[in-house]
A and B are shown apart, each in its own frame.
Chain A
Amino acid sequence: MELLSMAIAAILINNVVLTQFLGICPFLGVSKNSKSAVGMGLAVIFVIFGASLLTFALYKLVLVPFNIEYMQLISFILVIAAFVQFTEMFIKKYSASLYKSLGIYLPLITTNCVVLFVAQDNITQGYNLIETMVNSISVPAGFMLVLFLFSCLRERLDSADTTASWRGNPVALVVAALMALAFSGLAGIV
C-alpha cells in the first residue's frame, strides 16, 4: 500500500516535469507530436529503470564499503552514459523495428537530467531495493504522462494564431504553467 501511494505521489503530485522542472529540454523539444512523445517516454522509462538499478548496486557494493561516497556524482553519470551507449548498440544490432521507434531518442537521454536525478534521489531518500524499483518506474512514468498530454495540447497550439514573439516555446510554457496549476489540484490525493 505504501508503495502504491509512493508511485501515485511520484506520478501525479511530485511530477518531475511540472513540480521539479526536470527534463524540460525534451519536454519542449520532443513534444511536437504524440507519437514521438510516447517513444521518448518509453525510452526514458527503460533507461531510468536500468540505470537506477546499476547505480544502486554500484553505490551499495562499491562506494559504501570503500568509503568513497564522494565519487557518487561522477560514477553515476558515467554509468548512465555507458548504459545508454550499450543499450543503443544492442538495439541497433538486434532489432531494427525497436530502433526505429525508440532508438532515435536514446542519444537525447544521456543529457536528460531526470535520469541522474532519479539515480541520486534513490540514494538520498535512503530507499531499499524494492522502493528504488518502484521509484525508478513511477518517476519516468509521470514524465511520460505529462509529455504525452503536452504533445496533444501542442498539436492544437501549433495551428493557433499567436503573436509573433509568443509563437513557439513562450506560449508552450504558458500552457505548461496552466498544466502545473491543474496538477497542483491533485495534491490532496495521498
Chain B
Amino acid sequence: MTSIVVAILVFVALGALFGVGFYLNQKTPKPKGCENLTADCEGCRITTCPHHPHSTEGEKENA
C-alpha cells in the first residue's frame, strides 16, 4: 500500500519539478548577444526543439 502512495508521490513530484523547471527556464531571458543563435541543425527533425525552423517546415514538404 505504501509503495503505491510513494510511487504516485514520486511521479507527481518529478512531474512538477520538470514542469516548474521548464516554466522557469522559458521565463529566463537569454543572455545578451545570444538571442538569435541557431544550431546548424536543419538535418534534425525534432520539432519540439526551440531552434527548429518551424516556419520553413511547410515549404520543405512542398518542395
Contact = CB atoms under 8 A, between A and B. Distances in A.
Contacts of B43: 28-29, 32, 168-169
Interface in A67-82: 67-68, 70-71, 74-75, 78-79, 81-82
Interface residues of B, number: 35
Contacts of A74: 11
A169 B41 CA distance: 13
B29 A92 contact: yes
Nearest to B7: A68
Given A32-B40, A89-B21, A103 B28 contact: no
A89 B24 contact: yes
B14 A100 contact: no
A62 to B, nearest CB: 6
A108 B7 contact: no
A108 B10 contact: no
Main secondary structure of the interface of A (DSSP, over half): helix
A25 B40 contact: no
A25 B2 contact: no
Given A25-B44, A32-B40, A99 B31 contact: yes
B63 interface: no
Contact of B17 (A28, A78, A103, A169): A78
A92 to B, nearest CB: 5
A68 B10 contact: yes
Interface string A74-104: 1100110110011011001101100110011
Contacts of A103: 34, 37
Contacts of B25: 85-86, 88-89, 92
Interface string B27-43: 01111111001111111
Contacts of A62: 6, 10
Contacts of A63: 10
22 contacts: A26-B44, A29-B45, A30-B39, A30-B40, A30-B44, A62-B6, A68-B3, A68-B10, A78-B14, A81-B21, A81-B22, A85-B24, A89-B28, A96-B33, A100-B37, A104-B39, A104-B51, A105-B39, A108-B41, A108-B49, A111-B46, A169-B43
Given A36-B39, A81-B22, A108-B49, 13 more contacts: A25-B45, A29-B44, A33-B40, A62-B10, A66-B7, A81-B21, A85-B24, A85-B25, A96-B32, A99-B30, A104-B37, A104-B39, A111-B46
